[in-house]
Amino acid sequence: MKKTRLYPLILMAPITAVLPVAISCSTTQKAETSAYLDIQKISRVYLNRLSIGQIASLHNNEKIFYYYDVNNQKQYFDAALVENNNLMLIKNQNEKMAYKLDFPHRSSWKQELSQFDNFNIIESNEPSNIVDFLNSYTFDQIDTANGFNDEWFSVLAEKNKHDYNQSGEPYFADIQTIIFRFIRDIDINFSIMNRRFIVNSEKKRTIFSSLFQTQYIQAKEWLKQDDQKNLFLELLELYLNKFNVNVKKIIVDWNNAKVRTSYSGATDYVEFEIDDILDWNGNSIMPADKKSIKYYINNFRNYSTAQKFGVGQELKTKYPLFTDYISNPLLYINGGKYLNVVDNINYFIKGATSIDYWNAKGLMYLFSNFKDEFFYIPVPEHKQSEDKEYRIVDFNFTNYFNTNQLIEATVKVTKWDNSVKYFTWISSNFDDHGHRLKGMITKNVKPQDVQVSDIFSFKNKIEEAPEGIKLDDFLNTNNKDSAFQILLEKAGEHLEQLFSYWDNNSRRNYEAAKLTNESFQLKILNAYFNNYLLAYALENQKGKIHSGVKRIDINVIPEQSQFGRAYLRLDFMGFASDDDLAFKSENEKKYQSVYIYWNGFKGYGQEVTKLFDVEKIEKGK
């Protein structure tokens, strides 16, 4: 068979400028014996990190080499294989052509027992026997390490009675070890899973672009996604072919797979068996007595854990999780003219006792009122041909941890055919930090005097919510130095700082009569009222986290306003029932209404010593 040189894939600059025209516009007949790399799929930047066997494996799954047929039409080679350390491309089922790659590539590996009685990895084209890779481990051994780490090498050394030389960070001739290794490589963006290199000629990711890190998805949901299971097997084949094992395809019946939880409860595994392994020619190379071996994909997210991202109990959501649909999505928050937020949920997370650490009730008010203005959820590139837009349409409280430290967003996914799907997004997953919101302050003390022991939040186990603070005690106007009075002023101070709130001027030059119930300034002010005042457990019943005051509503009463003073009513609204998780519901109880003057608008004829004066308090009806 005649060897044909691959068309040059890296050219000098003047030739590069002409190449696209030559390929896409020329009517000259292409030679059928020529092979080309599809640089719209992958570039040499990635391929020169692979061995010949891995390049063949990549083509068999992703079809990266092509030719032109007799009609001058682009066609991908049916398959690739390695013969005598040469890459062979196959078309028309059985026409085989060999050529020499015109870019550097890595050598194959071989595992050997050294003179020092430990296992080494050496560079060698010598064949390896796939049987040596098919080793069984108990679940105890698997869960001891839960990944590619020192604990796993201790397991290997104890089982095989030899140490492993890890110099140069190789992996070894063992399928379970290889699985642990590429799961780790994906997580830490390392080796041939470094996303910076898995790019095409335009530096965009096309291959592996939809790959989920197992740490971001539930095992049971991963098993429902055929593309993820196929990608897993593709990567297992890719990593295996670093050794000269000639593996074309690994066959797994995922219907027989099952989910197993680590003994710590922190993560889950997918347990599966390999039904067959085929070589380059489609022949089975797997002994029958090796087909019952269990293998484990590790590090899947388990929400039942109390650790990072967990909810401390069984997950119960109205819709599927958005984080099982999109890998590690990020909720971008831009407060624009409303709030000085240009990042993400981290803006709202502070020290445990800080009053500026936002709680669930404060964020529920802020986010529910500005959900159309604040948020942006980008559609990942690999989803852009399918999904048109992601938008948050609702927020709800949750029962998790029994502390009211997590809320949920409902995400509406609009497809290009205008069909829609809805997903649930838990607030601890709004970024990859796993933050919980502020716990409830259970003592009626000034904000600067709050201690960690005064806050009911999740610690090491789920506890019963304590009885809260009586609203009458909290709203006691006889104490001018109370938490209530202090926090009214602190909330108002936020609106003194930005001229953009007041037509690019001082509030002293803004007419109070312009304020309506729909004014964004009023909503911002009340978001701070909700966050500061409802940081305290007002009227909470013992053992019932969703009891007591749920929300503060604000209304301007223009007929009672004065020159330089806006007259406001704050309604302290309660949960409708123990099961009330909505921002607003029917049958909510009104505990009390507080009437206040907001001082310092245009026409206010004296120095502003207090932003708010409490006029009266009425019992709810």
Q: Per residue in 154-180, pLDDT tens?
A: 999 999 999 999 999 999 999 999 999
d(CA 228, CA 217): 11
pLDDT at 11: 32
The pair of three-digit structure tokens given for residue 470, joined into one six-digit string = 């009586």
* DSSP, res 33: T
pLDDT at 15: 34
**What is the number of other CB atoms lying within 10 angstroms of the CB of residue 232?**
23
Bridge partners of 553, per DSSP, are 571
Please state, in angstroms and rounded to a whole number, the distance separating the CA atoms of residues 61 and 138. Answer: 31
**Residue 379 and residue 390 in contact, taking contact as beta carbons nearer than 8 Å:** yes
Question: Containing H/E element for 598?
Answer: strand 590-599
Residue 186, classed as helix, strand or coil, is helix
For the residues of 550-578, what is the DSSP string, one character each?
Answer: EEEEEEE-GGG-BTTEEEEEEEEEE-SST
What's residue 20's pLDDT?
37
Helix (H, G, I), strand (E, B) or coil at 183: helix
How far apart (Å, rounded) are the C-alpha atoms in residues 219 and 207?
23
DSSP label at residue 214: G
pLDDT for res 31? 53
pLDDT at 410: 98
For 501-545, the pLDDT digits (tens) are 999 999 999 999 999 999 999 999 999 999 999 999 999 999 999
Q: Which residues contact 113 (CB under 8 A, 6 or more apart)?
A: 119, 120, 162
Which residue ranges of the chain lie beneath pLDDT 70? 1-33
